[in-house]
């Protein structure tokens, strides 16, 4: 049971463990960062990771010289884009099955029609803004797919949102990490 507790603590509080991982594993730390962001954005079952805090801390660590800023940004950007694409694909696969449940306990056709109408009208903004909303970020790509947002349209907003999210938050952390009083600690 201790290993389960450790894994849950590690996943939920990765930001606290990140420095030790980077020091201990060097380049493998980048692979772990990729995996965390990919899983958090790509799998609907992982909405409890603290990705925004993680991105900020990665930036701060780059600011103090522990990580390479361009490399970290590139890896995190690719992970965020591919994660949402994976999540969108899961929605494509599950969507047809959902429609077979017509007005069951698990599927409400009227609610789906409202969601589809919403995505037709505001879907692009939703995909972009959801990046900054924990928990919601995990479900938006899936719902966009089920609501029939085209892959091309989704991809355009996915990339735009990922660039704003990753570069914005990592850059904020980087500038924080470059403050003289932070660098001296």
Domain boundaries in the chain?
2-183
Q: What is the pLDDT of residue 152?
A: 93
Closest of 16, 77, 85, 87 to residue 47, by C-alpha: 87
Dihedral through CA 169, CA 44, CA 117, CA 94, nearest 10?
150
Query: Which of residues 185 and 86 earns the better pLDDT score?
Result: 86
Q: Residue 2 above 60 pLDDT?
A: yes
* Segment 71-96, tens digit of pLDDT: 999 999 999 999 999 999 988 888 76
What are the C-alpha distances in Å from 145 to residues 32, 86, 157?
27, 11, 13
pLDDT in tens, 121-172: 777 888 898 888 877 787 788 888 888 888 999 999 999 999 999 999 999 9
Mean pLDDT of the chain: 80
Can you give the pLDDT at residue 181? 66
* CB 147, CB 178: distance < 8 Å: no
The confidence score (pLDDT) of residue 107 equals 60
Round to whole Å and give the CA distance between 88 and 53: 24
Instruction: Give me the residue label for tokens 């980077």.
Output: 22
pTM of the complete model: 0.80
3-state SS assignment for residue 148: coil
More confident residue, 33 or 95: 33
Would you list the DSSP string of 93-135?
HHHHHHHTTTTSSS--HHHHHHHHHHHHHHHHHHHHHHTTSTT
Q: Examine the pLDDT at 106 and tell me if it is beyond 60.
A: no
What would the two tokens of residue 88 be? Answer: 């969108």
Q: What is the mean pLDDT of residues 23-32?
A: 80
- Distance (Å, rounded) from C-alpha 57 to C-alpha 36? 14
């Amino acid at each position: 049971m201790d290993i389960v507790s450790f894994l849950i603590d590690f996943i939920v509080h990765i930001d606290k463990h990140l420095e030790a991982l980077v020091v201990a594993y060097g380049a493998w730390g980048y692979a772990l960062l990729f995996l965390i962001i990919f899983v958090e954005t790509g799998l609907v079952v992982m909405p409890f990771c603290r990705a925004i805090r993680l991105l900020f801390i990665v930036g701060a660590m780059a600011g103090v010289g522990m990580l390479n800023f361009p490399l970290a940004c590139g890896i995190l950007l690719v992970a965020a884009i591919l994660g949402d694409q994976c999540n969108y694909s899961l929605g494509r696969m599950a969507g047809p099955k959902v429609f077979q449940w017509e007005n069951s306990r698990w599927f409400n056709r009227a609610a789906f029609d409202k969601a589809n109408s919403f995505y037709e009208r505001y879907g692009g903004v939703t995909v972009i803004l959801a990046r900054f909303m924990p928990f919601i970020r995990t479900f938006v790509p899936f719902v966009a797919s089920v609501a029939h947002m085209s892959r091309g349209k989704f991809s355009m907003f996915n990339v735009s949102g990922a660039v704003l999210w990753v570069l914005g938050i990592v850059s904020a952390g980087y500038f924080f990490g470059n403050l003289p009083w932070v660098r001296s600690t």
